[in-house]
Structure 1
Amino acid sequence: MSIKFLASALAIAASTVSTVSAEGAPGYSGFNTVWAETFDGSAGTSVNGNNWNIITNLHVNNEVQTYTSSTNNLQLSGGATVQIVPRKDSSGAWTSARIESKYSFTPPAGAQTMAEAKLRFGDNAIANKQGIWPAFWLLGSSVNNGVAWPACGELDVMETVNGILTGHGTAHCDVYPGGVCNEPNGLGATVGIPDQSWHNWRIVWDRRANTWTGETITWYMDGAQFQQISGASINNQNVWNSLAASSVYFILNVAVGGDWPGPPNANTQDGYGSMMEVAYVAHYLST
């Protein structure tokens, strides 16, 4: 585990594919850093197995990729980042990677909880990213204890599809289809992304209200709010608790194809230009 309470400038090795971010997870006034992963390690090696489960043998949403543990798809940059790289082989088959944190947390009552990551996308042209689907999200830990999706709760901090510079922040909950969260669409909002370079994506649970209806979950890009739900808007305490008062864990992945983006096409390019690169993932709690 890599825990850093203040951001610091680090000397880094040159990346073989691009300039990488070398900052640790930043500190914030009024918050303690509870857990952070800053992806330190040698270039070309895999993520810390004490912190992450590397997911394979998972096929959902009619996606076309196969998730692997290969460092061709998942590697540390050597500059304190991780790169999730979709690849297409000579037969046209796609591979990529998905990692899920072994660390989990429950936002406590009476406090603010923040979860965030800093990430960027590869520099392939948007026209060459049909079917590419990177995401930073949190899933309710109860899914591993027999609670089906979406009743387990899911909070997508950032998703984008087909290279389009639009970030989607979405809550999934209750039942499928329909239900409180209008599944399978979820309760979502969007934000324009200025470019494919580094941006900070954050979600904040504010459970300081006197009643559950006054609690909120708010999404931010680069510190600017673009989505919010509340106990009052959900209007069901059990469903709200699945989103705001239950254990969650981090997921980072790049899918290829699927129901939402549609399949890749002849123009879709693989490799570093279609990757998602992550500088850190962190969990904070108000003091």
Structure 2
Amino acid sequence: MNRIAFSGSSPGSSPSTSRAPGRRRGHHPRRRLLTVLAALALPLAGLTGLGGPAGLSGSAAASEPAAPARTGAAADWTTVFKDDFDGAAGSGLNTADWLYDKGTGYPGGAANWGTGEIETSTDSTDNVYQDGSGHLVIKPVRDGSGHWTSGRVETQRTDFAAPAGGQLQLSASLKQPDPARGLGYWPAFWAMGADARPAGATNWPSIGELDIMEDVNALSQHSTTFHCGQWAGECHDPDGISSGLQACTGCQSGYHTYSVVVDRTNASAEQLRFSLDGVQTFVVNQNEVSDATWKAAVDHGFFAIFDVAIGGSYPNKVCGCTSPSADISSGAGMSVDWFSAEVSQS
């Protein structure tokens, strides 16, 4: 989610408005032209890729025909991890497979996960639970004093990687939160480079972040973003290389499959391909950044993350306001039907 929690920021930046990996997210919103863009109702990319003009340097679906997100016959692909979330109703996650992020930031990292979001992440089944019908639910809840709690979980494994000459696909079927009043909701499905974990994401964005699904303010949209390189460098971070918000019809009322393929089948022309329900929506090509930056951000293992934040830089950027709104609804969960990691060796 561009939710990165880094302890250091660029000169003059404010960690409270930055988006750190991990979805957290860790971006700093760009406020220039915000009023004009909001008035024109132009889609804005997530902090995990705010889509300013520089951040939109990837190839969007509108500029090229849709294509299958992954290549190769089904027999060529091997599932290396899958969770169908078939635990008992009200149960927590299997901690052999998942870890809970708790609090408001990584140890040593920026406050509020580096993005200004206001919730506290917990391991309580009030916020993160299996529903007994094959789903993981991450539910933000506001208590009587106005304090928000929610959930943010990561795979224990950090070795989801495209082999040299092969591909990796990370996918999840999920239903976005559907609050009656959603100004400030920020659900996300994303992945960070393995080296973020021992460093507490303080080495973001160089270790790479893949934002596979983000929506804000219950708009039934979604954006995808690639974070890489150095702050304010060729990857345009903290904004990243982003699709911007795109239409996602029915994504708050039903389950849809969000995926990213890391394609290393051509060593000199690697790609990141993002898709919704198998239809390609955005592409980032290796030659859009330097070779060293690409390899540092892509050619290694990743871990996956699911979370629902409340407030922060991305919702604020899109609405041109400070979120959450006073009348925001409590208790609208993101429901995840399954998550999988697959690899193909061509």
Q: TM-score, normalised by structure 2?
A: 0.71
Distance in structure 2 (CA, Å) of the matches to 1:180 and 1:230: 13
Which residue of the other structure, out of 189, 200, 225, is the alignment partner of 1:136? Answer: 189
Corresponding residue of 1:267: 327
Alignment partner of 1:286 is 2:341: no
1:111 corresponds in structure 2 to 166
Corresponding position of 1:148: 203
- Code of the residue aligned with 1:276 in structure 2: it is M
Which of 178, 183, 204 is 2:261 aligned to? 204
Contact 2:206 2:297 (C-alpha < 8 Å) held by counterparts: no
What's 1:51 paired with? Answer: 97
Percent sequence identity is 32
- Is 1:96 aligned with 2:162? no
1:157 match = 212
Does structure 2 conserve the Cα–Cα contact (< 8 Å) formed by 1:155 and 1:243?
Answer: no
1:47-86 equivalence runs, <5 A: 47-57=93-103, 58=105, 59-60=112-113, 61-86=115-140
Indicate the SS of the match to 1:124: coil
Q: Point out 4+ residue stretches in structure 1 off by more than 4 angstroms.
A: none
Quick one: which amino acid aligns to residue 265 of structure 2? R
Contact 2:177 2:187 in 1 (8 A): no
Taking the aligned partners of 1:198 and 1:106, their CA distance within structure 2 comes to: 26
**How far apart are residue 113 of structure 1 and its match?**
1.4
Q: Give the superposition deviation at 1:124.
A: 2.5
Match of 2:79 among 16, 27, 33: 33
SS at match of 1:261: helix
Structure 1 letter corresponding to 2:93: V
Aligned twin of 1:188: 242
Distance in 1, matches of 2:270 and 2:163, equals 11
Structure that is richer in helix per residue: 2
Instruction: Report whether the alignment pairs 1:276 with 2:329.
Output: no
> How far apart, in 2, do the equivalents of 1:28 and 1:134 lie?
30
- The 8 Å contact of residues 44 and 71 in structure 1, kept in 2 or not, is answered as yes
Partner of 2:301: 247
The alignment covers a number of residue pairs equal to: 253
Give the match for residue 258 of structure 1: 312
| Counterpart amino acid of residue 282 in structure 2 | Q
The SS at the match of 2:170 is: strand
Could you say what secondary structure the match of 1:260 adopts? helix
Deviations 1:204-262 (CA, angstroms, capped at 9, x unpaired): 011111x33x111100000111111111112x122111332111100000000011113
Q: Is the 8 A contact 1:67 1:98 kept in 2?
A: yes
Q: Tell me by how many angstroms 1:28 deviates.
A: 4.1
Q: Counterparts of 1:36 and 1:230 in 2: how far apart (Å)?
A: 27
Q: Distance in 2 between matches of 1:113 and 1:76?
A: 27
5+ residue gaps, structure 2, are 1-72, 106-111, 317-322
- Partner AA of 1:200 in structure 2: T
Is the 2:177–2:218 contact (alpha carbons within 8 Å) kept by the matching residues of 1?
A: no
Distance of 1:259 and 1:167 partners within structure 2: 16
Aligned-partner SS, 1:156: strand
Instruction: Give the aligned residue type for 2:102.
Output: T
Which is richer in strand?
Answer: 1
